Amino acid sequence: MRSFFLINENEKVVGEVTVVVFLYTLATYIVILFLQYKSLKIRDY
């Protein structure tokens, strides 16, 4: 019973880490796109 609980806790941590990494990657991607869009706009004018 106790080992099962530990396995569940580990899976929870792995899930949380995956979500954090996913959000971080998504945010980085959005920032890069935003910067590219901004530089394109500046180049146009």
Residue 10 in this model has a pLDDT that exceeds 90: no
Average pLDDT across the chain, whole number: 83
What 3-state class would DSSP assign to 1?
coil
- At 36 the pLDDT is 92
Per-residue HEC secondary structure of 22-33 comes to HHHHHHHHHHHH
Q: 13 falls in which pLDDT band (50, 70, 90)?
A: confident
Residue 38 in this model has a pLDDT that exceeds 60: yes
- At 9 the pLDDT is 78
- At 1 the pLDDT is 52
- At 14 the pLDDT is 84
- Number of helices (H) and strands (E), helices first, in the chain? 1, 0
C-alpha–C-alpha distance, residues 45 and 35, integer Å: 16
